Structure 1
Amino acid sequence: MPTDLNREYYTQRASMALIITEGTQPSADGQGYLLTPGIYTADHIDGWHAVTDAVHAAGGRIVVQLMHTGRIAHSDNTPHHRQPVAPSAVRPTGLMFTATGPQEMPTPRALETGEIAGVVDEFRHAAASAIAAGFDGVELHGANGYLIHQFLSGNANQRTDGYGGTIANRIRFAVEVATAVAGEIGADRTGLRLSPANPYNDITENDTHDLYPALINALTPLNLAYLHLIHAGDEELLRRLRAGWPTALLLNRAGQPLDRFPAPSGVDRRRTPQAGVILTAHLVRLK
């Protein structure tokens, strides 16, 4: 549950104009890390309302990032201690920190085809809960190796049903989640985060130039509020995605040297402590 410390932390940052929260699970199955917050119970709504009220009072805006970790999880970190769920029963490499120390991440349970609609509904319910908690919108976390990204990938998704194999099948879960959330709270309150070719959390993608334009094309009719893109340097793909995306693009050139890119007008890197923030998370309009 969010606490007074969460409220203080986010209120201190309200002057940044738009805050995207920490990853927040849409369900008990969506929790993978120790002590991360949720947004699916009445107590979660009450706890987050104290945060959003304080941020708004300080002049800021705040959206919650809905993050279902999928296979990047350990049962010791969840309220029910069940086996993690994922597109396929493929164990990720690496360790997960728990209350008793680092542990190997377990092999997840593959979601049955009939269960997937229920997971989509968990995102929808969490989005409705977020609006009830006073958030200005939600960001769907489809990046960094978590559940939506796992469905997109070639190694974490080894399904043979309508959610695996072809690109059209692998993007299906992401499109269904975005459609459900936008239908519940409005497309103008729904953003999406993606990270093409990001290997974080043991993800392998070998078809990004086909997969991500197909995903963008499928999402275009929804007219979502924004796309938050973690960009790893593939400028050709970036331009294709910018050309195909109909609304705002938040470009995050995470980990790349600032001197590769021109400073915004009026910003002196030598005198502006927050230049890194300004340069690595900005709206872009590429020709």
Structure 2
Amino acid sequence: MPKQLLTTYTLHDLNLRNRVVLAPMTRGRAGKNRLPNAIMAEYYVQRASAGLLITEGTTISAQANGWNESPGIYTDDMESRWRPITDAVHAKGGTIFMQLWHCGRASHSNFHGGEPAVAPSAIAINGDYIHTPTGKEVYETPRALETDELPGIVEDYRRAAERAKQTGFDGVEIHSANGYLLDEFLQSKTNRRTDRYGGSIENRYRLLGEVVAAISTV
């Protein structure tokens, strides 16, 4: 192991004890109500010697859900349940970021009371199946988001970051890869929009840019 990996690192105003980072890995241990709990606290505390921990993907709204029993950060109860986790990590000298997540079309109507998942365009995932609350299901065609819905999603990200800050997180990571909502806007094969959020690279980036700008105000 290179010695430099174990040296300290300054990330903006954070002093990390080393340069090892725990990547976000979905555990699915938050239960049906998506509430952080003692098992999750134990998991992160066991890894607190890393310079930086990034949590599993944490959904910013009910609309954002698409993974069984992943945690959320969109209700007061969810927010308060994260506090023992951040406190426990900090007590071990650790630094922890929350990964903010919207599954977009990588979801299913079973997560949304029968309503379809949402996406930039009505294009289904070309895959075998998705695990849902009622078992394996084939991917469905999502509903294309209306232009006037997008400011609400940006606000969901901003509010999630605000909740994360209030509950003791040292920062957030915006999940914008791996075929989830923000990545779906970035990719031309999943974004066929004709409004100002589709077409050119600049337009396809627009939603992510607005999310970054909104979170930066927190």
Deviations 1:218-243 (CA, angstroms, capped at 9, x unpaired)? xxxxxxxxxxxxxxxxxxxxxxxxxx
Counterpart of 1:150 in structure 2 is: 184
Equivalent residue number for residue 10 of structure 1: 44
Q: Which protein has the larger Cα radius of gyration, Structure 1 or Structure 2? A: 1
Partner of residue 140, structure 1? 174
In the other structure, the counterpart of 2:31 is none
Q: 2:122: which partner in 1?
A: 89
CA distance in 1, matches of 2:95, 2:151: 31
Offset of 1:128 from its aligned partner?
0.3
Provide the rounded CA distance (Å) in 2 between the counterparts of 1:16 and 1:179.
29
1:261-280 equivalence runs, <5 A: none
Instruction: Please list the CA deviations of residues 155-205 of structure 1 after superposition, one character each: whole Å capped at 9, or x if unmatched.
Output: 110000000011111010110000000112xxxxxxxxxxxxxxxxxxxxx
Matches within 5 A, 1:237-276: none
The residue type paired with residue 201 of structure 2 is I
Shift of the 22–169 alpha-carbon distance from structure 1 to 2, 3 Å rule, reads same
User: Helix, strand or coil: the match of 2:203?
Assistant: helix
Equivalence for 1:113: 147
TM value normalised by structure 2: 0.82
Structure-2 residue corresponding to 1:74: 108
Q: Judge conservation of contact 1:88–1:157 (CA < 8 Å) in 2.
A: yes
The superposition leaves residues 10-55 of structure 1 with CA deviations (integer Å, 9 ceiling, x where unpaired) of: 1111001210000000000111111111011111111111110000
2:155 maps to a residue whose letter is: D
1:24 and 2:93 matched: no
* Residue in structure 1 matching 2:88, options 43, 47, 54: 54
Aligned-pair distance for 1:76?
A: 1.7
2:76 maps to amino acid = A
**Which residue number corresponds to residue 204 of structure 2?**
170
The two structures, once aligned, show a CA RMSD in angstroms of 1.0
SS at match of 2:130: strand
Structure-2 separation of matches of 1:66 and 1:14: 20
Give the whole-Å Cα distance in 1 for the aligned partners of 2:169 and 2:140.
34
Structure 1 gaps, min length 5? 185-287
The question of whether the paired residues in 2 share the 8 Å contact of 1:13 and 1:19 is answered with yes
Kept in 2, the 8 Å contact 1:14–1:55? The answer is yes
Aligned partners of 2:70 and 2:108: how far apart in 1? 13
Decide which moves more: 69-78 or 12-21: 69-78
The answer to which structure has the higher helix fraction is 1
In 1, distance between residues paired with 2:188 and 2:176?
Answer: 15
Conserved in 2, the CA contact under 8 Å of 1:32 and 1:75?
no
Equivalent pairs: percent with the same residue?
50
Q: Do the aligned residues in 2 keep the contact of 1:32 with 1:73 (CA within 8 Å)? A: yes
Distance 1:97 1:112 in 2: 27
Q: With a CA cutoff of 8 Å and minimum separation of 6, indicate the structure with the bigger relative contact order.
A: 2
- What secondary structure is seen at the aligned counterpart in 1 of 2:175? strand
3-state DSSP of counterpart to 1:20 = strand
Shift of 1:75: 2.3
Alignment deviations for residues 125-146 of structure 1 (CA, whole Å, 9 cap, x no partner)? 0000101111101000011111
The counterpart of 2:132, out of the listed 90, 98, 112, is 98
Q: Which residue of 1 aligns with 2:160?
A: 126
Normalised TM-score (structure 1): 0.62
Quote the offset at 1:81 in angstroms.
4.3
Cα–Cα, structure 1 residues 22 and 137, in superposed 2: closer, same or farther, change >3 Å? same
Q: Distance in 2 between matches of 1:130 and 1:146?
A: 21
* SS in structure 1 at match of 2:53: strand
